[in-house]
Structure 1
Amino acid sequence: MQVNVFVSEVEQDGTPTAMLVLPFGPEAAIPEHLRKVKWRYFATADADDAIIGLGRRDVESALATDGYVLTTPMAKQRSRLAAAPRSPDH
């Protein structure tokens, strides 16, 4: 499944950058409660692309239920850290 990925403007007040994932196609619409945010198109990608940081099932399920996915670039790093094997010393 192809999706469109948008990023919010980088804020200097400590607000983290957000990523908005929408379906690819005419049914895609920014939800009303997120329209105040200034979004910039980032990429068209597969639903399981590493830039999103979530699994295909999670993305497709959220898109089917809510019509969008809202995440942060940090989600990708957290997922990678959680999946990393620990050394026997720790």
Structure 2
Amino acid sequence: MTVDTRSWLGGAIATVDTKVWASYDDGESWRPLTLERATTPGTYETQLKAPRASASAGYVSLRTKTVDALGNEVEQTVDRAFGITPR
């Protein structure tokens, strides 16, 4: 996941908080994911530990929320971002 405040524009506002959640039941419940800052500013990394396909909706949905230094917020949800394949 990459968060970019358009730092190439003059006067860009830095992000101060970014959170991500995953859902394995089509959005009925959400689990927080641990983010680690990557080497590129505004970039974070996380790892998913998805359940077996039979114990889920067969898909992973993702939700993210970011807040900037002025308190502006953006939240985005991607329903069924990718599928879980049975092994």
TM over 0.5: no
TM-score (norm 2): 0.29
Normalized per residue, which structure has more helix? Answer: 1
TM-score (norm 1): 0.28
Normalized per residue, which structure has more strand? Answer: 2
